[in-house]
Amino acid sequence: MFATIQRLIEEEMSLDVPAAQLTPSADLYALGMTSFDAARLMVAIERAFKVDFPPDAMRRETMASIVAIALAVLSLWQAEMDRPDSRKAA
């Protein structure tokens, strides 16, 4: 998951540091990410991980680091699995 997020960061924006050198907790905003970059990255994350961020996810904290993004995606996956209509019969 981290490698995919790094790749999307590399493709969607220009930071002060190459995406391959980012640590999981590096502050993307401190490294040059703008609000526009964050919105583009969020759309790319949605496509790559087949998730839909709810409107309340449009917060700085959601896209602040690779760890934050990964946790947001995992949370969306968990919410999807917890929905009664998404469970499949065994």
Statement: 2-84 belongs to CATH 3.30.1280.10: no
**What distance in Å separates the CA atoms of residue 42 and residue 52, rounded to the nearest whole number?**
9
pLDDT at 90: 45
> Which among 29, 32, 24 has a CA at the least distance from the CA of 6?
24
Q: Is the dihedral of CA 44, 4, 71, 63 positive or negative?
A: negative
Residues 66-87 have pLDDT tens digits of 999 999 999 999 988 888 875 5
Q: Any alpha helices (H) in the chain, and if so which ranges?
A: 2-12, 35-49, 66-82
Residues 10-68 have pLDDT tens digits of 999 989 899 999 999 999 999 999 999 999 999 999 999 999 999 999 899 999 999 99
